[in-house]
A and B are shown apart, each in its own frame.
Chain A
Amino acid sequence: MNTIVCVKQVLDPEIPPAKFKIDPTAKQVIPPPGVPPVISVYDERAIEAACRLKDKHKGKITAISMGTEKAADVIKHAIAMGADDGFVLQDAAFENLDSFGTAYVLGKAIGKIGEYDLVLCGRQAADWGAGEVGSILAEMLGIPVVTLAADIQAADNTLKVKRIVSDGFEVLEAPMPCLVTVSGEIGLPRLPAGPRMMMARKKVVSVWKASDIGADSAKLDKANAHTEVTALTVPTRKTECEIITGSTPTEAAANLAAKINVLI
């Protein structure tokens, strides 16, 4: 079973709120110094899903990541977990692409890789968190897509996916080749075992540019972007705790309930 996993390297989401700074002009987050980027948490789970399928059905896992040269680290991480090979997609033209542009680049890379039975993505990126690229990519590749997978089983040429919904699960069947986005409910990703860690460490990850994957510059032109960010702001965080009172504990509780009800 041949699987391609799309992984993204993101700024570490785990930083003190006070250190979260943005550049409003560039509409980017300023990475705090000394904090290395990490693999997007759901993408790591996508790799885990791929590894579980490989454990059962054998086959090949290829990881791809669109990013800077540091993205080689997430490819290595994928290999340490169980991927067989991986590529970084890096080009000046790939910077600041919107979801459509990103899906386009990933789709071109997948085309270059060749045959596959399954494409896996995280359900959303840990930074911008839109949750679109997977579905757009599937549409571009012309394959079915199932989102928010908590479990994936394969039998013959069909995939059985357990999908998260707000009040439980759905079980869907999709023919392969298809794309699945993976949610956190799939469980903890495996810790790379000894031999694979050594293998991944030694790996030299290939980098593909726009020309390597045959990307059309018109599709990458920012002027043709489907969406763009016009503002990035940090909402002011209230650090003053509003103490809610009442003449009796019950009343205080009721007042608190009213406040909570608006929040969620």
Chain B
Amino acid sequence: MSPVSATYWGLPGYIIFWVLFAIAFGVFLRRSYFLYRLLRLGKPERRSDRIGQRAIFMLSVVSSQWCALKTVGFTDLAGLGHALMFWGFGFFLIGYVIIFGVDGGLGLSLPPAFEALYRSILDIAALFVIAAVIVAAIKRYIVKPKRLEREESPKEKIIMALLFTTMIVLMALHYGTEALKYSAYNISPSPIIGGLLANSLTSAGISPATLSATYTAFWWINYVLLLGALVYAPHSAHLHPLFSPANIFFRPLGPKGALEPVSAEETENFGVSKLQDFTWKQLLDLYSCTWCGRCHAACPAQLSGKSLSPREIILNLKDHLLEEGPRLLKGKAEASSKLIGDVVAEDALWACTTCGACIDACAVKVEHVRRIMDLRRNLVLTQNKMPETAQLMLRNMQSRGHPWAGIQSLRLRGDWTDGLDVKVLADGDTADTLFWVGCTGALVERNVKATISMTRVLKAAGVDFAVLGEAETCCGDPARRVGYEFQFQMMAEQNIETFKSHNIKEIVTSCPHCYNTLKNEYPQYGGDFKVVHYTQFIGNLIAQGKLKLANGLNAKLTYHDPCYLGRYNGVYQEPRQILQSIPQANLVEMARTRDKAFCCGGGGGHMWIEEQSGTTKINQMRLDDALKTGAEQVVTACPYCLQMFEEGIEHKNIKDSLKAKDLAEIVEAAMQPSESKGAA
């Protein structure tokens, strides 16, 4: 009865079955090995720590399809579709293994009742798969949401078309084969749909001989098609089914906001200028991309019209790897086209604000930002190429220890303490709690107001803190984000020494970039301090009863999550709790909020690097989000965001409808009058 047990042209079906299998599997393995060798072109990287934790995460996320389901939103149900496709096909895969084991002459046999049950599951699964594929095709070819906007090459178009067609054909073959089998051999019980189809075939009066012959033919077609799919899978450029679980397994476990230092052994070629400079994990990312385009649709640079598309960077690099791979494996050191320049445009690299929306949106944990930073490092450290505005900023970091070129004509960084009763640490002084102001908060007039507010709040709460005054230098974040790594390292080491010399235990900062750097990156240089963002600190003060916010604030507010505080460090709730604890504060959320918050445009060195001309300004897009809520005030907890909003408000001439505030200013205004009397 099994098609495999028959004889064809003198050959036993088993031989044909297993020979075909061996060939197909062999080709599959050969190609997979080639792909693996391509990964080995990359530099080593240690991602095998905490194997147990990694395995559990990967298995649970992939089998539950949380990787896809987490992307589901009201306007984007594709994740659900993928889950259905995945589970559906998962059942089929198991089914194929079982059934081929049975039919393939391995001597397994299934009780008919079990087989019918299992086939019924497959029948229903197939419906879901077909539905999901049809919807996916409609989305990709007709609806075309932003994230699927792409100039696909003919090859890519064929791959997707083949994928959709193959899946539908396999499902059809499943029904067909099933119907034919059950009608030809009159087996009972029969699966739900297969049984119905079998009945209609039987009642059509087709002879059992015809049915069984057709069944045999369908069976072999199904088998060959499956083997074909197996062979094609690693040869197509659509590799995520094979590699993305591994990518999830090898995901980064360190703090999200931390970049790695440049390797100490490197002396000439910094960052990445060719494929072999990437680590194997970064190359694995390239295989794992699912072409979903969510990173593209979440990227503020892309949405504001810049030439940067995170997805394009990944896919272009993938094509580059597959094209150049054979030559590189043969030992040629150079690829035939330049990575920076031909494959990835310099413009695109500089347009990134490092907001991290791409990483968050990615279902398979591709690391886009780290890659862009590595390419920037090569441009800056090895090729000495960067936008002029970035250069001016970096030169100022070198000679004056802060990125704000020109501002020293207005004030020096210790000046903000003039007239305030603030303890400024002198040589030899010690303090437990340091209020780290940051360059922007000390030097830029608008932000100095927020710093002074913060100081008053701390004093009102009776906090014993000190500041470094003019001894504070930049934390180094702007240098690192622009790729000027050694400057960052020097500043980090200098600051860590300063902290240690004053015996600092705890650092409170107003700037999320400083917060991220001091907390997540300074440990790389021996800096081990307790670092707290002021929203967390103030939250604690309120919880401890040391600060009472009793003055009502009769205004509609919306809170903007700074990327480096929210997405990178998970601090969403604390600022909101503070705002909500103020009487009469009417807090509304923007549509894109919390981890979906839209960048203000100030990160990644963009307080200084000019945005590509002729494009929309990112900060204006975010202000539109704020205006849509009807709020009178947009509140933030980051000096860059505050600057970007003030500049945008000025530009759009909406000073009368929207005010930008730092959370510290709101808190100061909300403090009970009697408490603020004792303050500076």
Contact = CB atoms under 8 A, between A and B. Distances in A.
Direct contact of A and B (CB under 8 A): yes
Interface of A: 12, 14-17, 19, 32-36, 38-39, 77, 188-195, 197-198, 201
Contacts of B262: 194
A107 to B, nearest CB: 28
Nearest to B472: A34
Q: Is the interface of A mostly helix, strand, loop or mixed?
A: loop
Interface in B382-439: 382, 384, 386, 388, 391-392, 394-395, 398-401, 406, 408-415
8 contacts: A14-B406, A16-B411, A33-B414, A189-B395, A191-B391, A193-B382, A195-B267, A198-B486
Contact of A34 (B391, B398, B414): B414
A190 to B, nearest CB: 6
A17 B268 contact: no
Given A194-B270, A194-B485, A197-B486, A34 B413 contact: yes
A188 B387 CA distance: 12
Contacts, number: 73
A195 B399 contact: no
A34 B470 contact: yes
B395 A16 contact: no
Nearest to A193: B384
Interface-central residue, B380, B391, B399, B484, by most chain A CB under 10 Å: B399
Given A17-B409, A34-B412, A35-B412, A191 B486 contact: no
Rank and list the top 6 A-B pairs by shortest CB-CB distance, nearest first.
A34-B470, A194-B381, A14-B408, A197-B486, A38-B399, A193-B384
A29 to B, nearest CB: 15
Contacts of A77: 398
Given A14-B400, A36-B401, A191 B394 contact: yes
Contacts of B487: 197
A3 to B, nearest CB: 20
Contacts of B400: 12, 14, 35-36, 38
A12 B409 CA distance: 10
Interface of B: 262, 267-268, 270, 380-382, 384, 386, 388, 391-392, 394-395, 398-401, 406, 408-415, 469-471, 484-487, 490
Contacts of A191: 380, 384, 386, 391, 394-395, 398, 484
Contacts of B412: 15-16, 19, 32, 34-35
A34 B471 contact: yes
Nearest to A41: B399
A190 B399 contact: no
B411 A194 contact: no
Contact of A193 (B381, B413, B490): B381
A14 B395 CA distance: 14
A197 B380 CA distance: 12
Contacts of B270: 194-195
A14 to B, nearest CB: 4
Given A33-B470, A191-B484, 14 more contacts: A12-B399, A16-B408, A16-B412, A16-B415, A34-B470, A34-B471, A35-B470, A36-B401, A77-B398, A193-B382, A193-B384, A194-B262, A195-B268, A195-B270
